[in-house]
Structures are given as C-alpha cells and as structure tokens.
Amino acid sequence: MFSLAGFVAVRMDKPDKWLSHTDDDGVEIIDSYINEGYRDVYAYEGYFFSGTVTLMGLCFIAILNVPKFLSNRLVQDIVIVLLMVIIYLGYNFLMTVMNIKRGYYNPQIVPNDDLMKGSLLEN
C-alpha cells in the first residue's frame, strides 16, 4: 500500500519536473533534473514499479507450476487464464504510469547562446 503512495502523491501534488528558475529575460534555467524535495516519492514509485514487475514474474512462474498443484483440467485452465489476466493488467498499468511520467524522464538539453557558434551552426 505504501508503494502506491508515491504514484498518488505525484498525481495529487504534481511536483516540478526539475528544479529551475527564471532569469531576468524570462528564460527558464534548469538547475537540476532531479527534484530532491520529492526524493521519497521517487523511492515509493520505484517500490511500486518493482513490486508490480515482481508480481508479474511470480504469475509467470505460477503458470508453469499450475499442472503440478491442480489435477482438474478445467480448474487449471481457469487459473491460468486468471494469471494471464493479472499479467496483462499489470503490464497495461505499468505502461500507463510510464506514459504519464514520460515527460519527467525526457528532458531536452539546450546549450547556452554563447555556445551556439561554429561551422556546424549552419547545418
């Protein structure tokens, strides 16, 4: 349950993608791509993500071992389908989380204007 707290905190608090300030000309200057004020939120998200991946892996292992523990073929089929649904839902949930967080992990680095010079500038 505490792992879910990181994801919920990010959705509710909407923390800054990075630490930045604005200079006199109104240009945003990025100080750090990691917002240290939300360090515990990142940890909780990691716990949640790794826990979900572990659960999906355990479901794969369980699928391989279902015939050893259950003798009824119909019950085996039902359990395997349920485990596959859990894997599918877990995968889709993780992809949804990653699509939400994609902007956080894809910053664009733009050099300062004084560095934008040289023969390759025309290219």
Per the document, the length of the chain is: 123
pLDDT of residue 49: 83
Tell me the per-residue pLDDT of 27-86, one tens digit each, with 9 for 90 and over. Answer: 777 666 566 666 666 677 778 888 889 999 999 999 999 999 999 999 999 999 999 999
Q: How far is CA 78 from CA 82, 83, 90, in A?
A: 6, 9, 18
